Amino acid sequence: MSPNGDIGKMKANYKKAITKIQTVIIAVVLIVAGVAGSAIYYYYSAAPVSEELIKIGITAPLTGPLASSGKEGQEAILIAVDEWNAKGGIYVNEYNRKLKIKVFIEDNEGKPENAVANLEMLITREKIHIGVVSYGSSIAMACMELASKYGIPIVSFDAASSSLPRKFMSDPYKYRYYFKMCINATGEVVALVDALNWLTEKTFWQPKTKTVAIIAAEGAWGREADIGADLLKNAGWDVVALEYVQSGVTDFYSFLTKVQAQRPALVYVRFFEVPQGASFIKQFHEVGCNSLVIFCLCPSYADFVPSAGRENVEGLIWESLDFDPLFPAHAAFAQKVTQRFNTPTGAGHLWCYDPFNALMSCIEKAQSVGADAITQSLLALEYEGLLGLLKIQPATHEVMCDSQHLPRVTAQFQNGVSKAFFPESRATTTYVPQPWAYW
């Protein structure tokens, strides 16, 4: 055969090969087109990203009024990442080997719109596998929408509001990639009523009237005070005042003047911003109120006592003592924080350390960074951490909050240290009556 004949035959074979390839490509395109409408939520979990890392995007309030919480969470997450990476990372089937973990932490300044922008940027630019809201119920509420929009898991850590599971239950399919790894705020007010009943039953406190004044932070978490008011009313209490204050407000003299006039037996305070809680207790004593006072949340942060002054917090009751330095495991973790960051340890550390480790354990069990595989692993989660047992309720996509899983502990400042006194099974001290509380 002539050279020209060989060339002609080669061209003919090449055309046939191209035709076959085109046929296969067209078939694949048609298959993809046929399922695209039903696969919109799965798009971002379909293919591995180019860089071989497990990428976790985190939005946190590193500046602004919630900075105390954000910084504690950031420190805890970085400790956890180092621990996982020191073990070589996590095996992922899509890559057929262990991958190291990389976190991207963006400051949202405590603003929901910033948090959404943070995670959207990380999803589209960095191709993260999971988005995390480290702190804030209102922030988590806004970021839930990204789970359905981009088809990746969005997990909130330290965000307690019961409005989050309610939103999930409003459309479980739409929000199936959202999970809440924090106690339900309703459990906090239930624990309050239980503690009050215990105080009166043990005769540590005998109020002259069953009257209560409530002040709380405006927002999804703070508004759980409405549920608290209803529970207290059902328990026979008369709610004489219920006020909500905006973020950053630190002047409470108007509210305390009302307290002085109405003389309620109990003042219940729900703040998460340390400056608000510190200002309130200082002004409470300055005005000379004589109510029993119980705080929720903000005393759990390490900078609360320095901000409020040790003399002002002595005898103060608060819930929940999630970080207890008298527990050996908590004390050991506090040493890690001190060695790495030279900062005091607070509950905000634990509420990011445990959920992050639980989340990584789900990837480890799934051996995948796909959204559906991680979701199924989260639904089967049972992770024993420093806070207790993290187990997801499939009906609400939040962790269980009860005495068997994440018990709520009521504490009192004694000699500048928070010590547990209720429930008695977790007690490390005996309650000392607040000397000013005689209304």
**CATH code of the domain covering residue 168:** 3.40.50.2300
Which residues have C-beta within 8 Å of that of residue 35, sequence separation ≥ 6? none
Could you list the beta-strand ranges (E) of 23-123: 54-60, 90-92, 97-99, 101-107
Mark whether 71 and 148 lie in a shared domain.
yes
Give the whole-angstrom CA distance, residue 358 versus residue 371. 16
Give the whole-angstrom CA distance, residue 152 versus residue 181. 16
Torsion-angle region of residue 224: left (phi > 0), alpha (psi -120 to 50) or beta? Answer: alpha
Mark whether 261 and 295 lie in a shared domain.
yes
DSSP string, 173-190: TTTTTEEE-S--HHHHHH
Which residues have C-beta within 8 Å of that of residue 394, sequence separation ≥ 6? 379
Mark whether 308 and 196 lie in a shared domain.
yes
Give the whole-angstrom CA distance, residue 415 versus residue 413. 7
Mark whether 193 and 177 lie in a shared domain.
no
Residue 433 lies in a domain: no
Residue 264 lies in a domain: yes
Mark whether 236 and 309 lie in a shared domain.
yes
User: Domain residues for 172?
Assistant: 54-183+328-399
Judge contact between 242 and 214, C-beta under 8 A.
Answer: yes
Mark whether 263 and 227 lie in a shared domain.
yes
Mark whether 305 and 266 lie in a shared domain.
yes
pLDDT tens across 266-313, in order?
A: 999 999 999 999 999 999 999 999 999 999 999 988 899 999 999 999
CA–CA distances in Å: residue 95 to residues 46, 47, 100, 375: 13, 11, 12, 19
Residue 70 lies in a domain: yes
Quickly count: other Cβ atoms within 10 Å of residue 114's Cβ.
18
Tokens matching residue 403:
């005495």
Residue 77 lies in a domain: yes
Give the pLDDT of the chain (439 residues) as one tens digit per residue. Answer: 444 444 444 444 434 443 443 443 333 333 333 333 322 222 333 334 446 999 999 999 999 988 999 999 999 999 999 999 999 999 999 999 999 999 999 999 999 999 999 999 999 999 999 999 999 999 999 999 999 999 999 999 999 999 999 999 999 999 999 999 998 888 888 888 999 999 999 999 999 999 999 999 998 889 989 988 999 999 999 999 999 999 999 999 999 999 999 999 999 999 999 999 999 999 999 999 999 999 999 998 889 999 999 999 999 999 999 999 888 999 999 999 999 999 999 999 999 999 999 999 999 999 999 999 999 999 999 999 999 999 999 999 999 988 789 989 999 999 999 999 999 988 999 999 998 998 8
Residue 434 lies in a domain: no
pLDDT at 8: 46
Mark whether 285 and 413 lie in a shared domain.
yes
Residue 432 lies in a domain: no
- 295-304: burial string, b at 16+ Cβ within 10 Å, e else: bbbbbbbbbb
Mark whether 205 and 308 lie in a shared domain.
yes
Residue 47 lies in a domain: no
Residue 438 lies in a domain: no
Mark whether 215 and 250 lie in a shared domain.
yes
pLDDT at 51: 66
Q: What is the number of structural domains in the chain?
A: 3
Mark whether 179 and 213 lie in a shared domain.
no
Mark whether 175 and 235 lie in a shared domain.
no
